[in-house]
Amino acid sequence: MAEHWCSEHETVFFKRGKMKTFAHPIKDEEGNSTGEWCNEAEQEIEPAGTRGQSRQKPPAMSKDDWAEKDRITRKSIERQQSLEQAVNLCIANKIPLEKIGSIAKTFEAYLEGKDVPAKSKLIDEAKKLGATES
């Protein structure tokens, strides 16, 4: 089976010499070359062994799927920001290295809008170091 197959013209693409992409000459009904070429890059490439098989596209995502994906992305960003701020506090010698994880979790809770017992102390320390509320 040819890896580079043109399903439109039912022939094999090839690449020789200085050709930049796989292609084949287009032939008329009698098999004579028309002088035109069909380039593989212009068509959807079929993987080897799937010639003639129809491909199913994955189902479209629903609004709920997009909302969940967005929620997960926001959560990931909040975690990254929380850890970054905890590391910054450690670099500034405001917290010991072993407290980075717990402080990051506290920052994460703050970003989620949860009530944080040590909130005012943490926020005051962060502001002293140049942090701003957004």
Q: The pTM is what?
A: 0.44
3-class DSSP string for 24-58: EEEECCCCCEEEEEEEHHHCCCCCCCCCCCCCCCC
On the 0-12 / 13-18 / 19+ scale of CB atoms within 10 A, 99 is middle
Cα(104)–Cα(119) distance, rounded to whole angstroms? 12
Tens digits of residue pLDDT in 10-43: 888 888 888 888 888 888 888 888 889 888 875 5
- What is the rounded distance in angstroms from the CA atom of residue 85 to the CA atom of residue 133? 13
* pLDDT per position as a tens digit, 67-96: 999 999 988 998 898 899 889 888 988 888
